[in-house]
Amino acid sequence: MNNRQPFLHDLNVLLAAPMQVWSGHDGQLRRSGGVQGIYCADTRVIDEAVLTVNGQEPEPVGSSQVQGSVVSFQALVRTLGSENPDPLVSLTRRRRALTDRVSEVIILRSDLSKDVTALIQMDLGSDFSPLESVKAGGRAHPVRPVVRGAVWQAAEEGVTSLVSAPGALVEQDDSRLRLRWEVVIPARGTARVGWEVQAEDSLAPFIAGARAARAPFRVRADDRRLTALAERALGDLEGLRMSAVGSPQDVFLAAGAPWFFTLFGRDSLIAARMLLPVDPSLAAGTLRTLAARQGTKSYPATAEQPGKILHEVRRGELRMPSDASNGELRLPPVYYGTVDATLLWISLLHDAWKWGMPKEEVKDLMPNLEEALVWLRDWADPDGDGFLEYIDETGYGLANQGWKDSADSIRWNDGSLATGPIALAEVQGYAYQAAINAADLLEAFGRNGAEEWRTYAADLAGKFRTAFWCRDDLGAYPAIALDVDKRAVDGVASNMGHLLGTGILNEEESELVARRIMHPTLFSGYGVRTLDTGNGGYWPLRYHSGSVWAHDTALTLEGLTKAGYAEEAALLAAGLTDAAEIFDYRLPELFSGHSSAQGGPQPYPASCRPQAWAAASAIPVMLATLGLTPQGPGQLPDVTATVPVPFGACTFEGLQAGGRSFTVDVDRHGAATVTPA
C-alpha cells in the first residue's frame, strides 16, 4: 500500500447507482490503474478487463459518451489483413452500465476484400477491494472465482458477482479469467461478441433510485454552452440517484463517485435544494430519507445527538489515513459528525414547501422539524456562548465538521491552523436562516414556538456582528470562524459568501462581503477560491485552502442575487461556465485556483467525477440571476423583470413549481417572463 489516493481526472467513468465503472480512455481496465475497475456500491468486483485481438491491444483513436451510462471506445486493428496500408479493420467497444450489471459488446468491422479470422481475448480480474482500500492506494487479496462453463461466480461478505460470456472459451489462472472468441469477420462485414458482469451487495444500505418522473429540463440559449452544460449535468445526476432499502419511492442523490457513492446529509441536501426548480421530488425524498435516520440519543462514538441529521452512511466502518494528529480516520457506518446538516434540512423543508411540496407531506415531517429545533436549542451550542460549534470528541472522527471538513481547512491569515472547538461563520448564517424558516413553518402549520425562533435569530445576528468581523488593508470582512478562545480567525475565505441571502447580514455588511468576494484575491475569474491568495496557507491545488469548489461558488452567486448583487452573480455564473467548458462541461467537484493569467484552472486529480452538488450547480448558474421566487401550491413563481444576460437570450423549459410546469424566457435585453407549460 502506498497511501496515495489515486488520481481520477484522466479516466472515463460510467454511473448507474449503485454500479460504477472507471477505465482509461482506451476502454481498458488495468490493475495498475489505481481506481480502475467495476464497482458494486463500495466494492470493486472487477479490477481488470484488458482486450486484445490476435495477441495485441487495439490502437485507440477516440471515444464517445452519449450519456452518463453508455460509452463507445473506438480503435483500429492493424494485425488483420495486409493488402492495403490504410487501417481497414476497426473495433468498437460499447460499454453500458445498468443498476445491477455492466455489459460490453465488442464489434469488429472490416473493409477487407476477403474474410479474416480473429482471436478476441478478454483478460478479467477480480479483487473485491473495499473502496477505502482503493482510495488509500492499496488493494485486497485477489478472489478466485468458480468457473462453470462460460459463467464465472464470485462472492465475499455479501457481495456477489456473476460474469457471463456467450460463445467464449474460458480459461482460469488464479484471480484472472481469460475469455476467448475465435470469430470470422466477413469481407466488408462485421463480427461481434459480448460479456457482462452482474453484481449485488446484499448488505448495502442503499439501492438504485427510480429515474426522474418529470418533464425534461431543456435549455436554448445564444450561448450554446448552456445546453451542453445542462445535458451533461442532468445525465450525471441520473447516475447518482439512490434510495434506501425498503423505501424505493424516496430518491436522493449520492454525494459523488467514486469516493462518496452514498448518502451524505450535507451534500444530498444542498444538491436537492439547487434542483428544486427542476426536480422537486428529490427534495422530498432526501428529507424523508434523512428524517428516518434522525438522531435520538447522545452517543459520542458516532457524534449522534437527539434531533441531529446525519453526516454519512456506509456499508461498514470507514478507516482511512488522515492528516489529523492521530494519523487515522475511523468513521462508524452511520456517522453524525456534521454541524450544518440539521440546519440545511430545516431550510430545505421550508424551501420545498414554498416550491410546492404537498401540504400533507410537509405536515408529516413537522415532528422531525421540531426535533431538529431541539438539537439547535439544546445541543448545537455546548458552551452556551450563543454560537454553534463543534469538536471531535473521539480523536478519530472528522476534525472539522463544516463543508470544509479536511483537518487543515480553518486557517489564520498567516496560514497557521485554528484550534477547536470551532464556530464557523457560515454555520451561524445557516442557523439564522433555519430559525426564520422554522418560524414560518411552525406558524403556517399551527405549531407553537414561531416567535421564540425569530427572537433566537435576531439575537444570533447581533452576537455575530460583534464577534466575527475583522479588518485588513482592503477593509472589513467576516472571519472564517471563532477558535477555542473565541477569537475571530482572520483568514479571508469563501465561507463568507454563504452568509449572503441568509438574513444574518444587514445591507452594509452584505455590500462589504460582495466586494470582498469579487476581489481578485478571492475570485479567480472561474470561481471563488476557498482561501484568498494572500493567506500564508494558500496553494491553488490545496483541497480547502486555495482551490475552487463549484458548489461553493454557486451558493455564493445565489446569495449575491438575493442580496441585490445580480450583476456580480452573473460574473460568477459566467466564470463557472468558462470552467465547465474547460472540463468538457462536467463541472468538477473542485479545481485549481489559478487565474487566466496563470494559465487557467487545472484539474484537482482526485476530485469526484461526477459529484452531486457540483453537477447540480449548473442549475443556479443558469437560473439564480433570474430571481425566481416560489409562490406556493398551484402558483407560478415570480421572476425579476429585468435580469443580467451573461449568456444572451435564453429559454428554460420543463421547470417545476407549485405542482405546475413552466417556461422562463429571457430576451437579449434581459426582459424575463414566466409562462405555464
Tens digits of residue pLDDT in 266-300: 999 999 999 999 999 999 999 999 999 999 999 99
Question: Given the C-alpha cell 451487495, which residue does it identify?
Answer: 201
Q: Return mean pLDDT, the chain.
A: 93
- pLDDT above 80 (res 491): yes
Average pLDDT estimate for 330-347: 97
Global pTM reads: 0.95
Tens digits of residue pLDDT in 617-626: 999 999 999 9
* CATH number attached to the domain at 207-676: 1.50.10.10
The 3-state DSSP class for residue 118 equals: strand
The 3-state DSSP class for residue 637 equals: coil
HEC secondary structure over 405-455: CCCCCCECCCCCECCCCEEEHHHHHHHHHHHHHHHHHHHHCCCCCHHHHHH
**Measured between alpha carbons, how far is residue 218 from residues 234, 304, 628 in Å?**
10, 41, 17
CATH topology of domain 12-204: Beta-galactosidase; Chain A, domain 5 (2.70.98)
**Contact between residue 254 and residue 265 where contact means Cβ atoms under 8 Å apart:** no
**Contact between residue 1 and residue 137 where contact means Cβ atoms under 8 Å apart:** yes
Question: Given the C-alpha cell 452573473, which residue does it identify?
Answer: 570
Average pLDDT estimate for 488-496: 98
Confidence of residue 149 (pLDDT cuts 50, 70, 90): low
**Contact between residue 257 and residue 609 where contact means Cβ atoms under 8 Å apart:** yes
- pLDDT above 60 (res 317): yes
Q: Residue 86: its pLDDT value, please?
A: 84
- pLDDT above 90 (res 316): no
CA–CA separation, 528 and 547 (whole Å): 8
- pLDDT above 70 (res 139): no
**Contact between residue 662 and residue 676 where contact means Cβ atoms under 8 Å apart:** yes
CA–CA separation, 354 and 276 (whole Å): 10
**Contact between residue 108 and residue 190 where contact means Cβ atoms under 8 Å apart:** yes
Tens digits of residue pLDDT in 62-83: 999 877 789 999 999 998 876 6
Domain regions of the chain by residue span: 12-204, 207-676
List CB contacts of 536: < 8 A, sequence separation 6 or more.
411, 412, 413, 414, 415, 416
Q: Residue 325: its pLDDT value, please?
A: 42
Nearest Cα to Cα of residue 329 among 390, 270, 398: 398
Average pLDDT estimate for 127-140: 83
List CB contacts of 82: < 8 A, sequence separation 6 or more.
none
Confidence of residue 326 (pLDDT cuts 50, 70, 90): very low
- pLDDT above 50 (res 261): yes
